[in-house]
Chain A
Amino acid sequence: MNRLAVTIGNLELKNPILTASGTFGYGEEFAALIDLNRLGGLVTKAVSSEPRAGNPLPRIAETTCGMLNSIGLANVGVKNFIADKLPFLKKLDTRVIVNIAGKTIDEFASVISEIEAAGGVAGYELNVSCPNVKEGGMSFGASAQITALVTAKARLITKACLIVKLSPNVTSIGEIARAAEAAGADALSVMNTVVGMAVDIATKRPKLATITGGLSGPAIKPIAIAKVFEVTRSAKIPIIGIGGIMSCDDVLEFLITGATAVQVGTANFLNPQISEQLVTDLENYCQQNNIQDINQIIGSIQVK
């Protein structure tokens, strides 16, 4: 029996370790460095209708225990994705989830339709939480109503696992979570990056061209844990925890708080082998602690 297996909606994962969108390319970039088939799944870089060049430079800045980015959903577009990236992904023995970006509700729907026609993916993650684009990102995800509309429209198009990626930069993440759940989402990714800003003291200019960006890395893990906890109190569908995971202890912290799976993000930049390493570490942890089923840990948090 595989003690690490978990289920997200209709999707069985061989383990709860996935890679986060925007930190893992389209998988092939890591093929020389790790065995992708050992992962529970991978989430691709966002895919939109047309190719996007992304935001002006500078796009990244390092902060204490974190980094700011404002990439702006630069991607190859759905046609190039299907022609150039999907054939490689189809050959993998892991769950491939495509992160979907759109400036309009219709764009989300049309990108999913095109990929559905091509086949071979296990699920979709709706990116209604990117803080670095003007249209369709966080501006959608900050509204429970628009989140519900995007989710409902996507639900009509696909039976594959439908995941909505939530932003922490909202008044009530629980309210957005409930809206996505009611509209037919199978799971929730909690969370996207935290809006942040850094200023160069010598030039007095913001360190990013877009002024603000998304903060990621170990600096945001406590925020992510709090958001996962909040969402467990609002929605019943499975949660995929994201935010600053660097170690097996971090994975366990998310699982205990109530996440069924996790995504590893910024850590892939520091250590491109970390995702596979975390699978090994989690196996060893379960073995050493005599845990027969990882689901025993999920949501085992004790709150008085």
Chain B
Amino acid sequence: MEPLLASSLPQKDLKLLQCKIIHKEWFTPKIVRLRFDEPHIAKLSNPGQFINIKVTDNYVPLLRRPFSIHRVDRENGWFEILFKVIGMGTQALAQHEVGARLDILGPLGNSFKILSQNDSAILIAGGLGIAPLLFLAQELVQSKISATLFYGNRSKDEVCTVKDFDELGVAHFLATEDGSAGLKGRVTELVAAKKNMVVQSNSMIYACGPNPMLQRIKEMMEKMNKVCQVSLETLMACGFGVCLGCVVNSTSASNPYKYVCKDGPVFYTSEIDLRE
């Protein structure tokens, strides 16, 4: 690989922190963004990295919950996460209000590689897969790499944070499954519709979303001969390479598995196999 403009060694700056919520923003009755006052993570984390949060102070749920770092303000020392209330963990987390302090382990994992050979980037998000891509967009803009966002959702209501991409100067194209905004269909169909744009650019492709979507993107990008990085989400227990629970199938003959928390969460699509 070519020289890296931005990368980090996993766990180099790992700390267990008590972070105060300083802002809470609901996009829908289920999608919420939390901002934490924490200079350590704001200053030292890189796009694609994640944090592991203890969402309650009891054993229900027992395990921490991992969230990718959504956006940082390095100067003012805060960072954000974006999530949807789905299960017990996210429900508990969403109940915390401004002023609460949460037990957070981070920053964890590797990060998106930003290569000097690419003068542009295409970001592909499915649903809450948008979360790490805003931080990535911040860093790309800093590195003077122009970015375009393809963003798919079920419906218009769930389209969130587009304004923040606009403010960074990142152009976006939308797809919704019910057709309420942008192209009617999935984000993979949007990418197919904009195939010329993808093929003709000298872009690195970055994608985040559900595994079936990422597998489809992997296959599409292989056909187009494009290099693609994806950020994965899995169940994790520790988040720092100890429990060995968060495996993903690898394409390497010598080692059948990779660990999402320490080898990832960002992988080149050539490294992993996301088929069921």
Report A's interface with B, CB cutoff 8 A. Answer: 22-25, 29-30, 32-33, 45, 53-54, 57-67, 69, 71, 74, 217-218, 246, 266, 268-273
B241 partner residues in chain A, CB cutoff 8 A? 25, 29
12 A-B Cβ contacts within 8 A? A22-B243, A25-B241, A29-B241, A53-B255, A57-B248, A59-B244, A64-B60, A69-B237, A71-B244, A217-B59, A269-B63, A270-B54
Interface residues of B in 1-58 (CB under 8 A from A): 11, 14-16, 54
Given contacts A67-B62, A272-B105, contact A32 B14 (CB under 8 A): yes
Asked if B251 CB lies within 8 Å of chain A CBs, one says: no
Chain A CB within 10 Å, residue with most, of B14, B105, B247, B256? B247
Q: Are A25 and B249 in contact (CB under 8 A)?
A: no
B105 partner residues in chain A, CB cutoff 8 A? 272
A25 partner residues in chain B, CB cutoff 8 A? 241-242
Given contacts A61-B235, A268-B238, A273-B16, contact A32 B11 (CB under 8 A): yes
Given contacts A65-B62, A246-B59, contact A57 B257 (CB under 8 A): yes
A60 partner residues in chain B, CB cutoff 8 A? 235-237, 243, 245-246
Q: Please, which residue of chain A has its CB at the minimum distance from the CB of B105?
A: A272
A34 to chain B, nearest CB (A): 9
Interface of A is mostly: loop
- How far is B59's CA from A71's CA once the two chains are assembled, in angstroms? 22
B169 partner residues in chain A, CB cutoff 8 A? none
B240 partner residues in chain A, CB cutoff 8 A? 29, 272
A51 to chain B, nearest CB (A): 9
- How far is B245's CA from A61's CA once the two chains are assembled, in angstroms? 9
B234 to chain A, nearest CB (A): 8
B14 partner residues in chain A, CB cutoff 8 A? 32-33
A270 partner residues in chain B, CB cutoff 8 A? 54, 62-64
B87 to chain A, nearest CB (A): 9
Given contacts A53-B255, A54-B257, A217-B62, contact A269 B247 (CB under 8 A): no
- How far is B237's CA from A29's CA once the two chains are assembled, in angstroms? 14
Given contacts A29-B242, A57-B257, contact A62 B16 (CB under 8 A): no
- How far is B63's CA from A64's CA once the two chains are assembled, in angstroms? 10
- How far is B245's CA from A62's CA once the two chains are assembled, in angstroms? 11
Q: Which 3 A-B pairs have the closest CB atoms?
A: A60-B245, A269-B238, A269-B237
Q: Are A65 and B243 in contact (CB under 8 A)?
A: no
Q: Please, which residue of chain B has its CB at the minimum distance from the CB of A34?
A: B16
B59 partner residues in chain A, CB cutoff 8 A? 65, 217-218, 246
A133 to chain B, nearest CB (A): 14
Asked if B99 CB lies within 8 Å of chain A CBs, one says: no
A148 to chain B, nearest CB (A): 30
Q: Are B248 and A269 in contact (CB under 8 A)?
A: no
- How far is B16's CA from A273's CA once the two chains are assembled, in angstroms? 8
Q: Known contacts A69-B243, A71-B243, A266-B237; can you find 9 more A-B pairs with CB under 8 A?
A: A54-B244, A57-B257, A58-B235, A59-B245, A62-B235, A65-B60, A65-B62, A67-B62, A269-B63
Q: Please, which residue of chain A has its CB at the minimum distance from the CB of B14?
A: A32
Asked if B61 CB lies within 8 Å of chain A CBs, one says: yes
A101 to chain B, nearest CB (A): 14
- How far is B244's CA from A24's CA once the two chains are assembled, in angstroms? 11
Q: Are B63 and A67 in contact (CB under 8 A)?
A: yes
A59 partner residues in chain B, CB cutoff 8 A? 244-247
Q: Are B62 and A62 in contact (CB under 8 A)?
A: yes
Q: Please, which residue of chain B has its CB at the minimum distance from the CB of A75?
A: B244
A53 partner residues in chain B, CB cutoff 8 A? 255-257
- How far is B43's CA from A10's CA once the two chains are assembled, in angstroms? 49
Q: Are A54 and B247 in contact (CB under 8 A)?
A: yes
Among candidates B60, B238, B245, B255, residue contacting A272 with C-beta atoms closer than 8 Å: B238
B240 to chain A, nearest CB (A): 6
B25 to chain A, nearest CB (A): 28
A79 to chain B, nearest CB (A): 15
B153 to chain A, nearest CB (A): 21
- How far is B59's CA from A218's CA once the two chains are assembled, in angstroms? 8
Q: Are A23 and B62 in contact (CB under 8 A)?
A: no
A219 to chain B, nearest CB (A): 8
- How far is B59's CA from A65's CA once the two chains are assembled, in angstroms? 5
